Amino acid sequence: MAKLRAALIGATGLAGQQFIAALKDHPYFELTGLAASPRSAGKTYGEALRTASGMTGWFVQEKLAPQVAAMKVVSGDALEARDYDLVFSAVEADVARELEPKLARDIPVFSAASAFRYEADVPLVIPPVNAAHAPLVREQQRRRGWKGFIVPSPNCTTTGLAVTLAPLAERFGVKAVIMTSLQAMSGAGRSPGVIGMDILDNVIPYIPKEEHKVEVETKKILGALDAAGSAITPHDVRVSCTCTRVNVLEGHTESVFVSLASKATVADVTQAMREWRGAEVANNLPSSPPAWIELFDDPFRPQPRLDRETHGGMATTVGRVREDGVLENGFKYVLVSHNTKMGAARGAILGAELLRAQGLLG
């Protein structure tokens, strides 16, 4: 079967670069188009990355493929849907709100942007957690008269939290969650990003809109699609969080306190996480890790520098699972999740792989 032709908008940003790295030699998708801001249009991708100092601004670990560096970049609003089979989007929310619907009229759009996450007819997909929500795209097409659709990936902070809550919700039920995040600088992107002198020797105690995103998205992701496939009923879990920015390059760390609906022991909780495989359809996708959650017994793990790349940045690592004496049936743990891989680009590609496996791309 021929590979599907994929375009990428927002190609020069940090998330866009992660998309490019993840799509290299992909078995299903071939990157055939690159789009960015008008100032990059008409340049080769390599030229578009060049900074005023002459440095090539390629910031991911994987090498930039010469054939990608030689590709011409077009302006995002000049991208023609008829030339592609699907689009990956790594643009800011305000740009996404304008560009993504234009493309979705004709072809599927898989987005790392927040613009459409909260629409009633838009699934917010983490494949192992809620693959059953994906058919909501048919309702989206029906309501909007589109041939394509928009499937956003969740906020990067929500992703690791939702992955670790899923096995607990399935086995014990979850009533309430309190979470404090220590989020990597890369989550802010490079433009405008976080100014080095602000974050050095410091913790920024507030990230605009982040806490609301986590609280709303977690309930939607853990919710249930109705029998008609037309709406998602949010989970009734109560979520409260504080989101901070710390002097770490990649990998979000989160301290999680959860109140379970039924009694359990630490051994029960760790067993639930270790044994969890999530939705069967999500386990044989090209980007799927061998395990979605990896647990540590070492009380000094997980750490972002040591553990963010676990299974190619697609696994959530967990440690320090303990009982909590304040919450009813309370437990607490620490997680690390790769914010620009599973939490952004590779997570969005995983979503596209899922919908292909479910026969929803055609």
Active site residues: 156, 252
Residue tagged 């620009």 (tokens): 340
Beta carbons of 222 and 235 less than 8 angstroms apart: yes
Q: Is the dihedral of CA 210, 213, 218, 221 positive or negative?
A: negative
Q: Is 319 helix (H, G, I), strand (E, B) or coil?
A: strand
Q: From the CA atom positions of the chain, what is the Rg in Å?
A: 20
Q: Is the dihedral of CA 187, 190, 195, 196 positive or negative?
A: positive
How many other C-beta atoms lie within 10 A of the C-beta of residue 102? 13
How many other C-beta atoms lie within 10 A of the C-beta of residue 265? 10
Q: Is the dihedral of CA 47, 49, 55, 60 positive or negative?
A: negative
Q: What is the torsion angle, in degrees rounded to the nearest 10, for the CA atoms of residue 123, residue 127, residue 133 and residue 138? A: 70
Q: Strand 330-337 relative to strand 316-324: parallel, antiparallel, unpaired?
A: antiparallel
Rounded CA gap, 86 and 91, in Å? 16
Single-letter residue type at 25: D
Give, for 244, the enclosing helix (H) or strand (E): strand 238-245
Q: How far is CA 21 from CA 17, 24, 25, 336, in A?
A: 6, 6, 9, 21
